Structure formats: structure tokens, C-alpha cells
Structure 1
Amino acid sequence: IIDNSDHFCLVKVAGVSGLIIANKKEDAQMTTYITYNKGQTWSLLQPPAKDTTGHDINCNLPSCSLHLHLQMSENPYTPDTISTKHSAPGIIVATGNIGPELSFSNTGMFISSDAGNTWRQIFEEEHSVWFLDHGGALLAVTQSAVPTRHLWISLDEGRQWDKLSFSSTPLFVDGVLMTPETENRIITFFGHFSYHSDWQLIKIDYSSLFGRKCTDGDFQTWHLQNKGEVCVMGERQVYMKRKPGTRCTLGREYSRVVSAEPCICTLYDFECDYGFERQASGKCAPAFWYDVNLPAHTCSHGQRYRNSTGYRKVLLNNCREGLKGTLSPRMQQCKPIAPSGLQLSTINSQLTAVLGTNITFRVALQNGDSLSTSLHVDFGDGISVSYSNISRLGDSITHTYRVSGIFRVTARAQNSHGSDSSSLYLHITSPVERIFLSAPVVVIRGKEANLTAVLWPSQPRTATFYWWFNNSTEPLITLEGSVSHTFTREGLNSVTVQVSAGGTVLQDVKIITVKDFFRSLLLSFSPNLEEHNPSVAEWRQDVGRVVRATLSQVCGFPEDQLLVSVFPGSPTAAEFFILPETNQSV
């Protein structure tokens, strides 16, 4: 299994439980590590003592080590840069380099026959390597950009390689097809002779490499170890391997494991439990944020709970006795404590909802006795619910709001030892259907005027208003529907207001006449006009135009000096404005 990221990638080695090889980025350098206990302890890879020519390699830990490429092949017919096999435990073949860090230069091929304890260099250049005969043989082909007609076969876990020819014409090898775990020993090379040629398939029967089927005398035992420690994942594991150089086939029913004897549990078999951190001494100590004396919230007075000692046995570790009893969790009496860590949230983590929809709240208590702790939830709209104990709550609480607004929802947990509370502010909105800008028709220049945006339906505290005056590009933003503004320019001034609420944006615009002075009179109308008042803006505008024209004829004033504003509602009333002539002053 290969897992890749920018700073860390790892491979779980097949055939040996708990064995993992990983690359970790530290101080801008990528370094390869190995663990035999699922990550509890890590160590650098021991570099080979000699190169492929037999010369000594001058590389000493920790400043210099072996580093492996852990990359998954994008081609399903070529192997990954590191290869392992369940039926060949302990054998690891990988591309890598020797030095202070992982590099893509001076790479070669390396193999370990003892599960990563020691390594040997098998090729100076990158090769693709496949397992044959259930891991009893290795096949290698160069990854060079030039075509080849040779392959390499090893029957002794990479110590010696036989060079064989598989094609009379050099072939660009694109991949190898083979049927795993079957008796027919056929492999198929596919590729092309040149960049412009058709695909070529070359089948090879490698059964002639093995003279016979292996017998008991062809095998030897191999003991899994970790730098001399024979107990790995809590067991002494013994495997059967074919003797180097023996040309016999392993067979389909071949079993590698001879015995697995449990070991006595030591500190090496345990990892730090949740809330604990490994110290330099190797022991696990509580993290600064973890309270070891705090039981689970389900722990009721008079009951008992399993309290961690700071350790837990590594998963799949099979050790027995020893420190197992000492480091295992201990049963302790539950102590009565005040509730703490009360958390209140909506089930979807949203703090806004549409009016009339069901809202589901979640309440969780981190610490405290849930059986003896009561819960009271106030939804902020005059409705609340209570529970005699938090354990009766279940997974959630559902509530529906009947009016829009911003509501403070509060949950309070309490028992005989104390209490804790948690709150959130929930926005309940509904779509705006209409907006009307209520503004005076005429105002005095330099004098403050009041403007009000009226919404249907009303949106108390949940709407946002945007105001533009004349040709301003930046709006005035308010949470209230009323503003005061002082107009400084005489003449016609435009006011635009937009409202945003419940995912809806609406707009209204008014033209306001600004003068240095004016006169106004209130007008009333005969009662029979009410029979014709439909209470709509268009009717009021039509009545205003008729009244304006009539008064202009009767009074002798030009129409551009007269304004009539008919008020909404009943009985019908209006305000009549007489404006000064242009350039006229007081």
C-alpha cells in the first residue's frame, strides 16, 4: 500500500505485519525510515557495505544512509519503484540512492532478504523487477530509454543474476504480462522495435529454469528480526526459504511460515494512548491539554470505568503477559464532577435558516455524569425544553421558528456539583416580497431628512440595507431600515435603496426635490373619493397629477413650481408643495 503527500509517503511491506517504510520531509530533505511495530519506533536504513563491483561504500549512520523511492507506477504492467510480495516475506526490492537524503541522481537498485535489516546493491541503474514462482525467483529488465533484448533472472534473492536473451531484435519494453499464482510459467513482454513500429508480443516459458519441484531438503529456516531483536510484533516468527542456488520450483501449495511463538510483552510492544505523548526516555506522558483524571461523560457516580495508563498495545501485536497487565487500562470508580465542555450546534453547522423549516440542534457534553445532569434548552423565541438527564436527549433536538429574527439559543447542563452553558445566535430569515422607500418629496437644502425602507413581510434585524445618494459608487450599509441624510445640492436628487434578506435582493428608487425654501399645505378630499381608492401607488400618482394640474389652473402657478404627494392609506390626504422660481431667494 502506497500513500503519498508533499511531506510524507509510506509503504506497508507485504508479508510482514507491522513493517512499514516511509519517506519523511525534514528541513527540506526527504529521508527514508523503517519501522517494525506499526510506527511506534523508526530508524534509518542501513546502507550496503559494498557496491556492485565489490568496492567498499563509505557511508555511516546517521549522516549517511540508504534512501528508497516510494512511488506507484502509473502503468499497471510495470512494477512500482518498491516491490514486496505476501508469498515472499522479507524480500524488498526498490529503487534508491545512498547519501544524506533522497535523490533522483545516482540511483540504483537495492534488495533486502531479511526484511530491511541489511541491504545489497544489485544494479547501478534503474530496473523493473518482477517476482516469479511465488517469490522464488526475480526477473529484471533495464528501464533505459534504449531498446534491449536481454533480461536478468535470479534464483537466490538477488545475489547472482543470469543474463538471458529474449528477443533477436532489441525491444522497447513497455510492460510485462504474467498470470500470478498459477502453474503455467509464462511471461509476455510487450513493446515495439522502434518508435514507428506496431506493438510486439514476446512470450517466454521460464519453466526450464527449474529442473524439478522443491522438496524438504531444498529449504532452510529464516528468523525474522529487527536489528537483532527476535521478537517482532510480539512474536518470534520463523519462515522457510529455499536454499540459495537451488534450481527447483516452489509450487502452488508452498507455505512460508513455519512457526509464530508469542513473546513476553515489553514497552516496545505498546504505543502511546490518546492524550499521551512519547518522551525522550521512551515513556508516555500526558499531553499538556489532556486531563488524566477526567472520566468519560457516560461515567455515572457509583459505576466504574477503564482508565488508560497512557499505553495501548500496537494493533495486531501478539505479545502476552509481561508488561501487558501493568500497562493495560485499569478499572476505576467514577467520581461525581460538575458538567463541563457543553457544546451546542446545528446539525449542519449553519447559523441561518429559512422561516418555517425544521432546525435540528445537537448538544454534546464532554465531561460530567450524563445520567445525573439535567439539560435545559431555550430557543430564544419564548419556547424552551428540559430533560431530566442528558442521556434521554438522544442524538438531536428539533425546533421550528414561526417568526423571523436573530435568536439567542442557549443550552444549560446542571447537576448537584455545578453547571455549564453554551449559546449560539441563529438567523431566521424569509424572502422579501416588496420594498417601499418612504421619503419626503421636497426637503430643505442643508437640513437633515429622514428616509425609511419599508419591507413586506417585515425582517427584524435580519436584513441588510444598501443606500446610494445621487451618483455615489460606494453604498452606505446599515442594519436598520431608516437613515438620516443631508442633501447639499439643489435640484433633483436620487436615492436608491436595496435590501438583502433570505437570499433575495430588492430595490426602490425615489427622486427628491431639494430647495432652499418652499411652502406646503395639507389637502383633504371629499368622502366619496374613498369609494375609488384601491390603495395602490399608481392610483395615488394619478390623483396627484390631476390635483397638480387643477391647482395650477386655479392658482395661476406654473406646474413646475407645484408638487402634490398623496399619502397612502385612508382617508385620502395629500400634501401640496409650492416651490420658488428658479434662482429666486428668500
Structure 2
Amino acid sequence: MLVVCKQRIWIYMNYSSDQDSSVDFGRKWQLIHELTGFFSLHPPPAKFYVQYVTCRVQMCTEANRNYPFHGFVDISSLVVQDDYIFIQVPTSGRATYYVSYKRDAFIQIKLPKYSLPKDLHIVSTDEKQVFAAVQEWNQNDTYNLYLSDTRGIYFTLAMENVKTTRGIGGNQMLDLYEVAGIKGMLIANKRQDNQVKTYITYNKGRDWRLLQAPAADLDGNDIHCILPFCSLHLQLQMSENPYLSGTITTKSSAPGIIVATGNIGAELSYNNVGMFISSDAGNSWRPIFEEEHNVWFLDKGGALVAVKQPSVPTRHLWYVLFFDEGRQWTQHSFSSVPLFVDGVLVEAGAENQIMTFFGHFSHRSEWQLIKIDYKSIFSRKCTEEDYQTWHLHNQGEPCVMGQKQIYMKRRPGNYCMLGRDYSRILSAESCICRAHDFECDYGYERRGDGNCRPAFWFNPSTVSRSCSQGQNYLNSTGYRKVVLNNCTKGVKEMYTARKQQCPNRPPKGLLLTTKDGKLTANLGSNVTFLVHLDEGDSLRTNIQLDFGDGTAVSYSNLSWTEEGIKHVYKSAGIFRVTALAENTLGYDSTTLFLHVTCPVEHVQLLAPFVVIRNKEVNITAVVLPSHSRTVTYFWWLGNNTEPVITLDGSISYTFHSEGMHTVTVQVAAANSILQDTKTIAVKEFFKSLLLSFSPNLDEFNPDIPEWRQDVGRVIKKALLQQTGVQGYLQLLVAVFPGVPTAAELFLLPHKNQSEGKKKSEEELERASDIIVSALNQNLVEFELKPGVRVIVYNTQLTLAPLVDSSPRHSSSAMLMLLSVVFLGLAVFLIYKFKRCEPGEGAGDDRLGGSRRQHAENHPE
């Protein structure tokens, strides 16, 4: 049980699996929950799931309990670190992550929309923000590095394709290293173009650069290594043995000193490696050994000791005093017999200059302990005259993380001990804010010109629904200050989010769901409806909910519905539940159909995107898996308020009026119901073109409905910008499922055409000629992400004829319908072979399938 509160509370679970609580140090106990324990419906190896319940300890009865999450929490995902708590809730086959900041309520973590994480690891939380490594849907052995805001909610990309290394225990270890003693400084190994290169950042991932290789080798010979073709690459593995140093070592009491194993060349290699040192925070490097060593800091970083890897027996150690910045190393014999060194203990404290070696003389011998007092290598304690200043910089740039930092270090040639009272930082002066002190805000991406612009899936004009007229909100400029950056003035005001008055807006994006996400309810059960509004003044928008059974409720504002709207149905049937959001500027409404009834796993509504008025059209619902028993189909066609009920998966219908018509089908089989909705454009005539794209688009296609809808919108925007045909016609773009990515472009009259048909037909012909010409000249393109430009092509060799209501064109309309039907069937065959095994998340797949279908049915 996770207790999140200000008051100290004792939790006790007795042998009968009852949970009790005490708020008076155990004097009195109160029952919280009976028969608490772990259970699993999955066969081994099983994951354990728990339910997250909140209540006041003094009144933790069932009626007073809240269940913030629709599903169960993966107990193995719980991470409690500093001010943050993280959990994972599996939802519809996807992992959803939540964070609690300073033990406040859990809020869903916001990653870029199409990261679609397969795995997420919390790297660190110790600098008032969260570093997270995310393995996205198209990654196997790399992770993307993300940084959050202070609350750990909104994440932006810091580096793509960070390399991972598999540890001895089989766990994946990220090739990322936080340099101790200097905030904002990280080193990472990035995979690009089938090579792995080492990069360094001084501002928490805002900017990265390669490492400059040493100018000379150990023998003093010049090294000809020119960036970016050649650089220094470091191994960044942490040691799984706590008494060995790993391949890279830094210490907070010795800022700027980095010792690491690496190589010089075009990419990271594990052959011909050596040891390298930097005493100026990674700006310059020098080789120190040709073989791998373990390195430890002594005297608060005033000295280093190096010992060969434990695979080789040794009787010597090397130590260096930073009298000459590590250029001279002294060999010391600590054993008359070669020893396999398994680890070193360095005793803490300025007065204890003792280090202990432990190991064995052979694989059959007993453990050996050797203590070394290294006090004799110092002549005296350091005084104030023994120090000089050192300015932290990044390739000559003195402002690092928004401030000029000056450190104290020992003068070269002074053989003295640093001592207990030695302080590294002398001063830190804030710098004037510049562009590199700001990173891209959530929903924005850095483009080739260095500016942050909205990602193709992000709508920056959307204001939080909690924003009410008369209040203020922070309108993002696309940038946010790097966390813990101390710069002042300069461009700070230009890049900082601006406080603006909340606009009075009509309701938009009204969404009605049940709390458990299902479209079924048992007779007499308590059904909780959730109302979500994307835009609109939440405090001045009236919410009305008609339960479809003759009862309705009304609320003066959205705040009254935050805990959900509960209702008990007293009779069985199909209920049209309608939500209406209304204020002085407009309204929005939405509907769901709720009814009670052997699981159907998937349903897909197949219908053309555009049809001809007064012509019969076939609409088909495909159900998987197929059932031997009867399936009932409920059809809502056009504006009909009552459904047409059939036992056949196909129905014919004629649309008599032009416009956008909604078709909804629900499939009921025993105890499960699924729904799909499609919007059909009804016109007197139209034209269509098949579109294809440059192959690089397939690399970024996760093949989910939301992505196709967003890409369709971007394609439409690119076509309008390039051709300028808007105004007298309407464009619809429908992106097909699967790869290679393809789409169909529909050219429709802008308004209903009962008169002036010939003129409109000529306008469509003229517009299609303009669009085909632009497509054939490769003029239509869009930027999917920084550096990825996609070209749109016309895949038809000849232009498709104009489709209208005359008999000679009926074959074209039928051919288009058949192509859509066969494409849908192919998608379902693929889905059938990808189904999960029985008993593994079948419920999540059903729920997820319904959501995917709904998002599929709206071309842009």
C-alpha cells in the first residue's frame, strides 16, 4: 500500500490479509480493507497488478473510496525517487505512465504523441526534473532521452538513439553518464548511420558536440584527428562490482576531472582502447595508459590511483598527484606477489588516508587484504597560497548553465594535501540569457535553423480547458528555460511563456465515455459517465447529460462533473446517451450508445469516403473473430434517431441530401459490444486521385489511425499551400492503413450543387489539373520532423474521370467501393495473425480496437 499524505500514518497487514491503519503511533487501529492480497489471472511467468484506491483513512468505506485509474497498476513499475513517484497503467494494449510530484495527485506523463513507448526507464530525478529513457515503437537496441519540466509531466526530446549495453544479468544499461560536480553536463553514446559516436553536452541536452581527440599520443607523436570525421569516443559502462570504478570516473569533490576508457577514430570501438583524462571538464583530453585500468580518487580528488583490470594479476599501482594536471604518474609496489585485484575500498574522511586492496593470488587461493597509507606522498597541508582559480567553460564559452563558475584548484608543482576545509567553488556569477539557455517546450521541435516550431501533431492554439474568462494562462512561446539554468535578463522575456487573458470560446471537442471505457452495463449497476471538453470556458459552460431512458441531469459548469456522473439503469435496452456543452458563444454535443449483452474482439465499418447523392451504397461491418452463433448489427444511418437492426453484416442505403453524414454500427454478441463510426461525404459529383509518398515516410509510420489522421491533415495543408485551390472546392485526404503508405485525395464542390453544376464541374477539372501538375513536378512536400521531408506523388498515370450521378459512371463508384472493401479485409487478415494468445489482455484488445476504429474513420 502506498501512503501519500502529510500526516504520519502507520499501515499494518496481519496474517488474515486485512489492512489496518493507525494515526496515533499504533495505540488504536482501524480496518481499511479486508482480504487484501496479490492475485493473477495470467499463467506463469505472470505480472502482478494492484488497484490504486484513494480515501481518507478515518472514513475508508467503499462508498468513500475513489479509483483514479480505469485499470490496474503494474506493481513492478512503481518507482519512488526524490520528489517523484512513477507508475504504469496498461490501457488498451498500450502502456500509460503517471507521475506524482511531491506526493500530489497522479497525472499522466506527456510524451510526444507518436513516441508510443515500448519501455520507459527513469534515469535520474536529482536536479529538479526527470531524465527518462524511452524505447519507442520503432526502436530495438536504442532509447531516446527525454527531459521533463520540474513537475515531471511534460517531456521533450534531448537526444535520439542512445546506445544500450546488455549487463551481466541481462538487463539493458543506457550509455549515458552524468558528470559529477558540474550540473547540466552529460556524456552519451549515440547510434547514427550504423556507427556509435560519443557526444557531450553542457546544458542538459540542449546542445551536443563530439569530443576533441588528444593532440598527441603517449610518445609525443602528433595525432591527426579532425572533427567531425574523427573524434574521441568513450565507453560509458558503470561497473556492476561496487568496488571497481567502471569505464568512466568522476567525483563531485573534483569537478572538471574525467578519467575514461576509450578510443580515437570515426566511431566507438572496443579494440585498441586506452585510458584518457580531462582536467578541464571535457574540453581537452590526454592519453594516460595504453591498457584498461580501474581508477579511484584520493584526497577529495587531489590524487588518483590506477590499477590494471582484475583479469590480469599485478603487484603495482599507479598514482598521480594533480601537481601537473595528471601528466606524471608514479608507480608503487604494494605486494611482493602478483595479486588479482577484485576491488578497492577508500576510507572516507580527510584524516584517514587509507585505502584497502582485496583480491587473491590465484583462483584457488583465499582472499587477501592489503592496506596502504598514502599520507606519505604529501609533504604538507595546502595553504591559501597553494591554490589558483580555474574558469569552467565550453570550448571557450564562459557561460555554462547560465552562469560563470570559478573553481579553486592546486597550483602545479605544489606537493600539499587538500584537507578537510577545502572548497572547490569560488564564485558563480549569472550570465545574460541567450538562446542556448532555452530548450524547446512540449509539442515543439527544433528545426534546421535552430528555432523551435510546433510538431505536426501539436496544436499550439489549444488552451487548457480549466482556463476561464477573467483568468490568465501562460501562452507558450515554444521555448522553456533549461531547468536549473541561472541566466537572467537578455532574451529571457522573449522566450518565457507570456501571461494572457483566457479567451471566451465556444465549446469544442466534447467527449463522453464511461469510466471503465466500456459500452456495456449490467442491469442495476452503477454506471459512471465521464465528460471531457478540449476547449471552452469550463466555469461558464453548462453541461447537460441525457441518459436516454427518460431522465437527464444538468450542471452549471464542468467542475461539477470531475468525479464523473453516476446513473443506474432500471430497464434493459439500448440507450442513446447524449452530452451537450453550451455557453453564450455556441455548443457542442456528442453521443454514445449504451446497452447490455460473448466477446467480439474487433469490428471495422467499411464504406466509401465519398458517395453520389441518390445512389444506393453498400456498407459492410466486418467482425473478427467470426462467430458461429448469431451476431446482431445495429445501424444508425444519416440523422435517424432509431437504429436499423439486422442479422447481416451488410446493408444498402441511399443518401438523399448532400453534406457530411455519419454512419454508426454496433455489433452485439452475448456479453460484448463494439462500435465503429464513419463519416461519409455525399455529393452530386466529385473527383479523386491516388497518392503515394517518398519511401522515407514508411520509416516513421506506426500504422495507427491517429497518425494517419494527422498526416492526412498535413498533406491537405501542403496541397492547399502549393496549389492555392481553396475557396471554391473542398479537399478530403484519406490515408490508407498499412505500408507502403498510400492515400486518396477527393476533390469535392465546396457547397451543395443543385444549380450551376456545369460550372462547378469545370472548376473541379481545373483544380485537378493544377494539383496533378504540382504533384507531377514534385512540388508538394511536407516536413514530418526536423530533417525528414516527404514528397507527395500522383500514382495514377491518367486522371480519374469525374464521378457524378449519371448511369455511365456507376462502375467507377462501385470499383472505388470494392477497393476499399478489399483493403479493409486485408487489414483484418493481418490483425487476425497478430492477435494475442488466449487469456493475455483480451479485454484490453477489445477496448483498444474500438478506439482505433473510431479514429480511423475521419479523413482530413
Query: Do both share a fold (TM > 0.5)?
Result: yes
> Structure 1 CA distance, aligned partners of 2:569 and 2:372?
76
1:476 corresponds in structure 2 to 628
2:221 corresponds in structure 1 to 55
1:88 aligns with 2:254: yes
1:75 aligns with 2:241: yes
Contact residue 155 and residue 244 of structure 1 kept, 8 A: no
Which amino acid is the alignment partner of residue 250 of structure 1? L
1:97 corresponds in structure 2 to 263
In structure 2, the CA distance between the partners of 1:483 and 1:226, relative to structure 1 (3 Å rule), is closer
Contact residue 298 and residue 346 of structure 2 kept, 8 A: no
> Structure 1 CA distance, aligned partners of 2:548 and 2:519?
14
1:358-373 equivalence runs, <5 A:
358-373=526-541
1:29 corresponds in structure 2 to 195
1:225 aligns with 2:377: no
> Structure 2 CA distance, aligned partners of 1:264 and 1:477?
74
> Structure 2 CA distance, aligned partners of 1:223 and 1:36?
14
Q: CA deviation at 1:207?
A: 1.2
Which amino acid is the alignment partner of residue 291 of structure 2? E
Q: 1:158 aligns with which of 305, 309, 326?
A: 326
> Structure 2 CA distance, aligned partners of 1:24 and 1:275?
23
Q: CA deviation at 1:393?
A: 2.0
Give secondary structure in 2 for the equivalent of 1:295: coil
> Structure 2 CA distance, aligned partners of 1:109 and 1:427?
70
For this pair of structures, how many residues does the alignment match?
A: 450
Q: 2:510 aligns with which of 335, 342, 347?
A: 342
Contact residue 508 and residue 587 of structure 2 kept, 8 A: yes
In structure 2, the CA distance between the partners of 1:300 and 1:483, relative to structure 1 (3 Å rule), is closer
Q: CA deviation at 1:302?
A: 3.6
> Structure 2 CA distance, aligned partners of 1:244 and 1:426?
80
| 1:426-451 deviation line (CA, Å, top 9, x unaligned) | 564699xxxxxxxxxxxxxxxxxxxx
Which amino acid is the alignment partner of residue 29 of structure 1? Q
1:490 corresponds in structure 2 to none
Contact residue 220 and residue 242 of structure 1 kept, 8 A: yes
Give secondary structure in 2 for the equivalent of 1:138: strand
1:268 corresponds in structure 2 to 436
> Structure 2 CA distance, aligned partners of 1:130 and 1:344?
61
> Structure 1 CA distance, aligned partners of 2:338 and 2:316?
8
Q: CA deviation at 1:60?
A: 1.0
Q: CA deviation at 1:333?
A: 2.9
1:218-297 equivalence runs, <5 A:
218-297=386-465
> Structure 2 CA distance, aligned partners of 1:403 and 1:79?
70
Which amino acid is the alignment partner of residue 176 of structure 1? V
Q: CA deviation at 1:143?
A: 0.9
Q: Which runs of 5+ in 2 are unaligned?
A: 1-122, 125-131, 136-140, 143-161, 163-174, 600-622, 634-645, 649-668, 673-860
Give secondary structure in 1 for the equivalent of 2:272: coil
Give the structure-1-normalised TM-score.
0.71
> Structure 1 CA distance, aligned partners of 2:512 and 2:347?
57
Give secondary structure in 1 for the equivalent of 2:629: strand
1:388 aligns with 2:556: yes
Which amino acid is the alignment partner of residue 67 of structure 1? H
Contact residue 155 and residue 245 of structure 1 kept, 8 A: no
Q: CA deviation at 1:369?
A: 1.2
1:402-441 equivalence runs, <5 A:
402-403=570-571, 409-424=577-592, 428=596
> Structure 1 CA distance, aligned partners of 2:629 and 2:354?
78
Contact residue 355 and residue 430 of structure 1 kept, 8 A: no
Q: 2:342 aligns with which of 158, 174, 184?
A: 174
Q: CA deviation at 1:384?
A: 3.4
Q: CA deviation at 1:233?
A: 0.8
Contact residue 264 and residue 322 of structure 1 kept, 8 A: yes
| 1:375-413 deviation line (CA, Å, top 9, x unaligned) | 223444544332111123233333344456665544332
Q: Which runs of 5+ in 1 are unaligned?
A: 432-463, 467-473, 485-498, 503-586
> Structure 2 CA distance, aligned partners of 1:228 and 1:409?
66
> Structure 2 CA distance, aligned partners of 1:76 and 1:351?
54
Q: CA deviation at 1:181?
A: 3.8
1:203 aligns with 2:371: yes
Contact residue 186 and residue 203 of structure 1 kept, 8 A: yes
1:137-156 equivalence runs, <5 A:
137-143=303-309, 145-156=311-322
| 1:83-122 deviation line (CA, Å, top 9, x unaligned) | 1111111111111111111121122111111111111111
In structure 2, the CA distance between the partners of 1:168 and 1:303, relative to structure 1 (3 Å rule), is same
1:190 corresponds in structure 2 to 358
Contact residue 597 and residue 670 of structure 2 kept, 8 A: no
Higher strand proportion (structure 1 or 2): 1
In structure 2, the CA distance between the partners of 1:211 and 1:423, relative to structure 1 (3 Å rule), is farther
> Structure 2 CA distance, aligned partners of 1:114 and 1:196?
44
Which amino acid is the alignment partner of residue 478 of structure 1? T
Give the structure-2-normalised TM-score.
0.49
1:441-480 equivalence runs, <5 A:
476-479=628-631
1:115 aligns with 2:281: yes
In structure 2, the CA distance between the partners of 1:216 and 1:483, relative to structure 1 (3 Å rule), is closer
In structure 2, the CA distance between the partners of 1:428 and 1:117, relative to structure 1 (3 Å rule), is farther
In structure 2, the CA distance between the partners of 1:372 and 1:212, relative to structure 1 (3 Å rule), is same
> Structure 2 CA distance, aligned partners of 1:423 and 1:210?
81
CA root-mean-square deviation: 3.0
Contact residue 409 and residue 424 of structure 1 kept, 8 A: yes
2:488 corresponds in structure 1 to 320
1:306 aligns with 2:477: no
Which amino acid is the alignment partner of residue 223 of structure 1? H
Which amino acid is the alignment partner of residue 131 of structure 1? F
Q: CA deviation at 1:425?
A: 5.2
Which amino acid is the alignment partner of residue 172 of structure 1? F
Contact residue 403 and residue 428 of structure 1 kept, 8 A: no
> Structure 1 CA distance, aligned partners of 2:369 and 2:207?
47
1:581 corresponds in structure 2 to none
From the CA coordinates, give the structure whose radius of gyration is larger: 1
Moved more, 130-139 or 414-423: 414-423
> Structure 1 CA distance, aligned partners of 2:359 and 2:593?
66
Give secondary structure in 2 for the equivalent of 1:476: coil
Which amino acid is the alignment partner of residue 284 of structure 1? C
> Structure 2 CA distance, aligned partners of 1:143 and 1:382?
80
| 1:289-342 deviation line (CA, Å, top 9, x unaligned) | 333343322222343322122222111111111111222222323322222233
Moved more, 99-108 or 407-416: 407-416
| 1:9-56 deviation line (CA, Å, top 9, x unaligned) | 322211111111111221222221111111111111111111222222
> Structure 1 CA distance, aligned partners of 2:518 and 2:262?
50
> Structure 2 CA distance, aligned partners of 1:290 and 1:374?
28
In structure 2, the CA distance between the partners of 1:352 and 1:186, relative to structure 1 (3 Å rule), is farther
Q: CA deviation at 1:81?
A: 1.7
In structure 2, the CA distance between the partners of 1:147 and 1:427, relative to structure 1 (3 Å rule), is farther
> Structure 1 CA distance, aligned partners of 2:214 and 2:488?
35
Q: 1:19 aligns with which of 185, 208, 211?
A: 185
In structure 2, the CA distance between the partners of 1:252 and 1:378, relative to structure 1 (3 Å rule), is farther
In structure 2, the CA distance between the partners of 1:296 and 1:78, relative to structure 1 (3 Å rule), is same
In structure 2, the CA distance between the partners of 1:302 and 1:128, relative to structure 1 (3 Å rule), is same
Moved more, 372-381 or 349-358: 349-358
In structure 2, the CA distance between the partners of 1:400 and 1:236, relative to structure 1 (3 Å rule), is same
Contact residue 393 and residue 400 of structure 2 kept, 8 A: yes
> Structure 2 CA distance, aligned partners of 1:29 and 1:353?
55
Contact residue 95 and residue 126 of structure 1 kept, 8 A: yes
> Structure 2 CA distance, aligned partners of 1:345 and 1:163?
73
> Structure 2 CA distance, aligned partners of 1:480 and 1:288?
40
> Structure 1 CA distance, aligned partners of 2:559 and 2:627?
51
| 1:200-219 deviation line (CA, Å, top 9, x unaligned) | 11111111111211111111
Contact residue 596 and residue 671 of structure 2 kept, 8 A: no
